[in-house]
């Protein structure tokens, strides 16, 4: 009987092998084809090469524009800077997630998902139940959620408001650069050398997992301490919250907060895709590299100084093409004194708005005057993950694009400057990019000649 069962199993195995391409190497079959759609509100930026930093003017004589020919892979970029209303979605998500955790202590069956009802799998820690709306006025809920609001002695006019100091977003990321780092004093071919090259990584990958806790609320007081002797109180009190400013670029966000927003945006999309059976996840949203930003800002024009391709800041009708500080400080000459609504001026040839002026933008790269010299010429990216106790010079991050308070020099696509990653300004915002998975948008993987077809 055992011998008969053995032969039956052998026949099944041989039969299964015979039906998978007649013994030919054909790869895993019946995989769902993947076509990367253009993300909502983003523009496609094709791959290409250009001369980065080819500016003729170096006003500070800092020699930070060394020309260099580089190549950039295709990617998507936000058509505009992230607006107040878009960033507010992030703030509300953090607020509501904290509320759900608090309510889970008294009503876990409503606000937490502790078990997979289909498989019986226990989730530890549990997932947040976003299908259940928060009852902010329920008797039990009001008592529990009270700690989310300002204490009574800090309220004015008896106004009950969320304590923004508690809006902390916790996330984790994998430091793959640390995992790839090698100790050249060790022999990489030996077991001891392998462990030295990647400490504990061969045994426990958790050593490369980093935890971040970021307060996500913008610093609305930047309007006051950026300009000590200026009446900016209306902007300090209303710019982020009032619906009149919904479609204005968010400011008062530091580099760490902008990075956290990108992580949240990635998780938001991937959670949605996970609920759709068989949908592949997207690559991470992130801040653009300095090389990506300049390539996108140029809009396909290699040596021209501005995103619109021309050598001037005005069009043929004498109208300014961006929101900055023209002439000798006549802020309103271009149509706006402080930041204005996004996409007010025409886009560049790749459909990107405000790549020059309105607000400057955080870049993913750390700032170094000579980074053009030591970065690779294929997708260059100078990254340094500064710790809180690092000296300030290691916390410098690149800022590009110029803003409403900058002179025309900073409107040029080659102009570079920096700010510190833990500081927020009334003239710096950001936009996100998403890498394109593949060579370029027009490729059709179904036509690849080496794909096996039965």
Alpha carbons within 13 A on the beta-carbon side of 312? 7
The per-residue pLDDT for range 241-262, each reduced to its tens digit, is 999 999 999 999 999 999 999 9
Q: Which has the higher per-residue pLDDT, 8 or 30? A: 30
The per-residue pLDDT for range 426-438, each reduced to its tens digit, is 999 999 999 999 8
The per-residue pLDDT for range 169-185, each reduced to its tens digit, is 999 998 888 888 765 55
Q: Which has the higher per-residue pLDDT, 303 or 14? A: 303
Of 309, 334, 289, the closest CA to residue 413 belongs to 309
The per-residue pLDDT for range 270-300, each reduced to its tens digit, is 988 888 766 888 899 999 999 999 999 999 9
Please give the mean pLDDT across all residues of the chain.
86
| β-bridge mates for residue 78, sequence order | 42
Can you tell me the distance from the alpha carbon of 449 to that of 56, in angstroms, rounded to the nearest whole number?
47
Residue-level pLDDT at 58? 61
- Burial tier of 97 (Cβ tally within 10 Å: 0-12, 13-18, 19+): middle
Does pLDDT of 189 surpass 60? no
Does pLDDT of 199 surpass 80? no
Residue-level pLDDT at 63? 62
Q: Residues of the chain with pLDDT > 70: what percent?
A: 85
Which CATH fold topology does 1-83+218-440 show? Answer: 3.90.1580
Q: Residues of the chain with pLDDT > 90: what percent?
A: 54
Could you tell me whether strands 122-128 and 428-429 are parallel, antiparallel, or unpaired per DSSP bridges? unpaired
Of 261, 361, 258, the closest CA to residue 307 belongs to 361
Residue-level pLDDT at 15? 47
Does pLDDT of 453 surpass 50? no
User: Residue 195 — very low, low, confident or very high, per pLDDT cuts 50/70/90?
Assistant: very low
Of 389, 381, 385, 336, the closest CA to residue 359 belongs to 336
What is the DSSP secondary structure assignment for residue 430, as one 8-state letter? -
Are 43 and 352 contacting, i.e. CB atoms less than 8 angstroms apart?
Answer: yes
Are 322 and 357 contacting, i.e. CB atoms less than 8 angstroms apart?
Answer: yes
Question: What distance lies between CA 415 and its chain's CA centroid?
Answer: 22
Residue-level pLDDT at 454? 43
User: Residue 445 — very low, low, confident or very high, per pLDDT cuts 50/70/90?
Assistant: low
The per-residue pLDDT for range 315-347, each reduced to its tens digit, is 888 889 999 998 888 888 888 899 999 999 999
The per-residue pLDDT for range 380-421, each reduced to its tens digit, is 999 999 988 999 999 999 999 999 999 998 999 999 999 999
Residue-level pLDDT at 327? 81
Does pLDDT of 204 surpass 70? yes
Query: What pTM does this model have?
Result: 0.89
């Amino acid at each position: 009987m055992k011998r008969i069962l053995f032969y039956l199993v052998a026949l099944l195995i041989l039969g299964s092998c015979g039906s998978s391409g007649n013994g030919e190497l054909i790869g895993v079959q019946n995989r769902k084809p993947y076509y990367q759609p253009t993300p909502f509100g983003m523009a496609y930026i094709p791959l290409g090469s250009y001369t980065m930093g080819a500016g003729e003017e170096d006003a500070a004589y800092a020699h930070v524009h060394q020309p260099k020919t580089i190549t950039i892979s295709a990617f998507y970029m936000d058509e505009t800077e992230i607006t107040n209303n878009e960033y507010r979605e992030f703030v509300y998500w953090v607020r509501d997630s904290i509320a759900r955790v608090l309510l889970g202590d008294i009503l876990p069956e409503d606000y937490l998902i502790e078990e997979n009802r289909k498989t019986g799998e226990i989730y530890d820690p549990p997932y947040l139940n976003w299908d259940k709306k928060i009852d902010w006025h329920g008797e039990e809920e009001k008592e529990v959620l009270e700690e989310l609001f300002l204490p009574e002695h800090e309220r004015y006019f008896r106004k009950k408001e969320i304590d923004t100091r508690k809006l902390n977003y916790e996330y984790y990321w994998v430091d793959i650069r640390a995992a790839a780092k090698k100790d050249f004093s060790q022999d990489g071919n030996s077991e001891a050398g392998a462990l030295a090259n990647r400490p504990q990584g061969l045994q426990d990958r958790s050593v490369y997992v980093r935890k971040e806790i970021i307060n996500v609320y913008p610093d609305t007081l930047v309007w006051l301490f950026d300009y000590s002797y200026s009446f900016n109180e209306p902007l300090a009190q209303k710019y982020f919250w009032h619906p009149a400013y919904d479609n204005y670029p968010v400011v008062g966000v530091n580099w760490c907060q902008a990075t956290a927003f990108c992580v949240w945006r990635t998780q938001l999309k991937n959670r949605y895709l996970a609920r759709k059976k068989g949908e592949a996840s997207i690559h991470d949203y992130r801040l653009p590299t300095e090389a990506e930003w300049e390539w996108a800002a140029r809009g396909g024009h290699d040596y021209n100084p501005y995103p619109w391709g021309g050598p001037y800041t005005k069009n043929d009708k004498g109208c300014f093409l961006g929101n900055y500080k023209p002439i000798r400080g006549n802020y309103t000459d271009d149509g706006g004194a402080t930041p204005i609504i996004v996409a007010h001026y025409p886009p560049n040839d790749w459909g990107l708005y405000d790549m020059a002026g309105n607000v400057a933008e955080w870049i993913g790269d750390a700032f170094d005057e000579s980074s053009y010299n030591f970065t690779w010429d294929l997708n260059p990216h100078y990254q340094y993950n500064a710790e809180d106790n690092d000296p300030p010079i290691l916390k410098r991050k690149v800022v590009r694009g110029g803003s409403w308070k900058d002179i025309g020099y900073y409107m040029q696509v080659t102009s570079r400057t920096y700010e510190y990653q833990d500081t927020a300004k009334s003239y710096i915002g950001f936009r996100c990019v998403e890498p394109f998975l593949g060579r370029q948008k027009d490729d059709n993987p179904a036509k690849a000649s080496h794909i096996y077809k039965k």
